Chain A
Amino acid sequence: MARFSLRSLGLAAAAPVGAVIIAAAISSIVLMITGHSPVDAAIGMWSGLGKTRIQISAINNAGAYYLAAVAVAIGFKMNLLNIGVEGQYTLAAMIAAAFAGARWLGDVPGVLRVVLTFLVAILVGAAWAGIAVVLKVTRGVSEVISTIMLNSIAGALIAYLMVPGRMAILDGNLKHTVDIPNDGLVGAISISGSTTPLYTLTLVAVVVGIAYALLLNRTVFGFSLRATGLNPAAAIASGIGAKKMAITAMLISGGVAGLVGMAELLNGGAHHYSQEFPTGYGIMGIAIALLGRNSPIGMALAALLWSFLGGVSNSLQSKHIPKELVTIMQGLIVLCVVIAYEVVRRYKIRLEQREVARALSDSPGSDLAEAGVTA
């Protein structure tokens, strides 16, 4: 049924593309109301796109965004809402940084050291997410509430640990973890025209993306995950244990979240974790997972869109347009996309019912009713 798949591809693209166009249109109206020229804004953004510096940092950011989105999507696929990627990745990055800089690791060879650092980050992310899921399956605490609270607790915990004598040192005014020695870092590719190098660890995001796609579509676990998300009652009747699924999905989600900050930590120029370590990726991840509809490729495109939009926001200021325009636009895209997906989803089911009914010369009216899909 090539026709079906080609069409579903078109339908899949319709929602996000439509949402971006509508968001751009509304943003233009907002600009005009506030006395700015949408054309100027478009030119400003376009000129920003051409700058190597912006391109490189956008690609670097996209990697982190994508990992955060995958972490969120693993939960989303079974209607498990991990809002705690933010706390999971910041805590993971901080503890992994302290670990990688630890003196007692001195004699461990570089490669092993990097692998161990990754392992620590994954474990810390998974453990932090694990708290939420344990509360959920044993006490029935909503993971939405617990993960949001755990984000705050992670912030407090980091503040507590980032004190000289605990896990940090004082360097001038900046408190940061001990610098990671060079052989514990991973080389980045410096590009002329950009002060930021191209992060090689963005490849981790690619690998995770492929693994996510395979997990979802080729494994029993992925099938169970999707079944639970699409019809929890049928999943339970089919022997898919709800608790076990929640625990496994949350631990994997947290583990992936642990990877979010690793490129910045091991590829970046700081060589340590400090208060200046980038935050907000976890929240971005939720928006990107929504926009990319939890699809491995969709989220990659969404992550790139997000990071490029963020990248060009500074160029707007040269045109005297507030860079917050980009924030407004991102918000609008998410809002539009949620609506557009629902519209397209309903349309797709109806279309297919009609299609099948026609192929069988069946009565579409009565079948629609029997299929019980409320459209």
Chain B
Amino acid sequence: MADTADVPAVALRGITKRYPGVVANSDINLTVHRGTVHALVGENGAGKSTLMKTLYGMHRPDEGSIEVNGEHTTFHSPADAIAVGIGMVHQHFMLADNLTVWENIVLGSEPVKAGRLDAAGARAQIRELGQRYGLAVDPDELVEHLGVGARQRVEILKVLYRGAKILILDEPTGVLVPQEVDELFSNLRELKAEGLTIIFISHKLDEVRAISDEITVIRRGTTVGTADPNAVTNRELAEMMVGAALPVPELRESTVTDRVVLELKGIEVITSTNRTALSDIDLTIHAGEVVGIAGVEGNGQPELVNVIMGIIPPAAGTIELSGVDISGHSTLKRREAGVGFIPEDRHRQGLILEAPLWENRILGHQTRPPASKGFLINRAAARADTQRIVADYDVRTPSIDVLAAALSGGNQQKLIVGREMSGNPVLLIAAHPTRGVDVGAQAAIWEQLRHARAAGLAVLLISADLEELIGMSDSLKVLLRGRFVGTYDPHEVTPESLGGAMTGAERVG
């Protein structure tokens, strides 16, 4: 062992992969030591998956060399990669629900004994593998009865069954709940202890730091460096990923004016199930002011948003927009009066996934130029304005004719932000504007909010990210059980005291 210990399990040198018109990977250098967990981190679109496809033989690089266990190799297909002991655990499970665990595992490389499927042998081998690596699953269980964590173990077993010594895990925690993540990590440690090498692809920095022995950061298609997980902070890693000092959610000098844009007085909302979702809500937002709403989910945030948007009626109270009582106005009339809306769930309320980007630009603006002209849709103008949003808001897409479903979450969100900022809004309702987007898009969205605020936009910001709330708000209110229970100055409040107020542990007047 001693003489081979220094030979890396995988060494990639100068890997470059071009697609027509784009360089997906350029000059990638990656060294993965044996018996370690090596994390590969980068933003969405940085080229992580392209690189892994190279390593798994799904395509051939245009330049560069691949060495596995010190030997120069060329992969023509995944079969070649499997042959040298590389296995891939895909992010999306590829299991047949109506087959048992062992059937799924042997599928495609069935053991044969005397011309017949050797079920007993397969079961025994899978049990043995499971015991050795601490991957407990019953070989005879139907996959449809398994939870997500167990399914993932089956996927890993599938790879191990084929003799893999180097495992690639592509975003393995994306589908897991925290307890399952812990379980996965203890499985991975066990695999590592047995001498296997693991390449772990993720953009969840906490998890990466918790599990890996070494981290390689990839940015814009190339490797920019490695980091020691014990020494590096999340912020440093994130800065390596985006290639610049990470923007922090903070506002510069106050732009708050004394012109009231939105005023809620005594708003009460009763849901269709006769539950009081909001009561005694008084809220004032001035031009150039961002008011942040903190609160644990389920304390009336969606109702607050919906009542301002006119999607649900208030049971009592009035809503004024720039001095005009809009309590009885339709959603359309409110939007036409300049209320922009970034919904909490962009797939549910913000987009038509099965429509092209330029049609999504029209959504919510269908009665206003440039989207329409009288009762007709103005295609040319709507398309031109979509091009503008794509350029100004850095929406990464090959065309404005692709379906919204084809974009990544961050790019979908940037499109929505761009759309809602169109047509000079006076008020923006931003519910979790950066939820589920990568750091680059997050920075861009914050920057747009700052710009709009400086230009006199009034913003209602709802977020579960306390750092974002504290950094981006001029004033903070805590919503608890449908009531505002406190107003905070974001310059003085700490996340801890805010967290206390959100759960009702602390009450500040």
Contacts and interface: CB of A to CB of B under 8 A. Distances in A.
21 contacts: A4-B399, A220-B375, A220-B377, A221-B375, A223-B366, A224-B366, A230-B355, A234-B352, A236-B311, A239-B332, A239-B367, A241-B330, A352-B406, A356-B402, A360-B398, A361-B25, A362-B396, A364-B49, A365-B91, A367-B406, A371-B407
Nearest to B175: A369
Contacts of B372: 220, 223
B406 A239 contact: no
Nearest to B349: A237
A231 B44 contact: no
Contact of B352 (A219, A230, A355, A368): A230
Give the top 3 A-B pairs by smallest Cβ distance, nearest first: A239-B332, A361-B24, A363-B49
Given A233-B349, A237-B364, A360-B397, A353 B49 contact: no
B377 to A, nearest CB: 5
Given A352-B402, A352-B406, A359-B22, A369 B48 contact: no
Given A220-B366, A239-B367, 8 more contacts: A237-B331, A237-B364, A355-B402, A361-B23, A366-B171, A367-B408, A371-B406, A371-B409
A51 interface: no
B47 interface: yes
B489 interface: no
A231 B19 contact: no
A222 B379 CA distance: 13
A349 B354 contact: yes
B489 to A, nearest CB: 32
A361 B366 contact: no
A234 B366 contact: no
B224 interface: no
Contacts of B111: none
B155 to A, nearest CB: 13
Interface string B28-55: 0000000000000000110111100000
Q: In the complex, which of the residues B24, B47, B49, B436 has the most CB atoms of chain A within 10 Å of its own CB atom?
A: B49
B349 A360 contact: no
A219 B377 contact: yes
A356 B397 contact: yes
A235 B359 CA distance: 12
Nearest to B312: A236
B408 A366 contact: yes
A372 interface: yes
Interface string B357-382: 00100111011000010011101000
Contacts of B335: 238-239
A227 interface: yes
Given A1-B401, A356-B406, A365-B170, A219 B50 contact: no
Interface of B: 19, 21-25, 44-45, 47-50, 90-92, 170-171, 174-175, 203, 221, 309-311, 330-336, 341, 343, 347-355, 359, 362-364, 366-367, 372, 375-377, 379, 396-399, 401-403, 405-410, 412, 436
A370 B436 contact: yes
A238 B366 CA distance: 8
Interface residues of A, number: 47
A239 B364 contact: yes
A218 B436 CA distance: 34
A219 B341 CA distance: 23
B330 A359 contact: no
A237 B408 CA distance: 22
A363 B19 contact: no
A230 to B, nearest CB: 5
A370 B436 CA distance: 8
A371 B412 contact: yes
B399 to A, nearest CB: 5
Contacts of A369: 91-92, 171, 174-175
A25 interface: no
A353 B353 CA distance: 11
A123 B354 CA distance: 35
A240 interface: yes
A373 interface: yes
Interface in A299-313: none
Contact of A231 (B171, B353, B398): B353
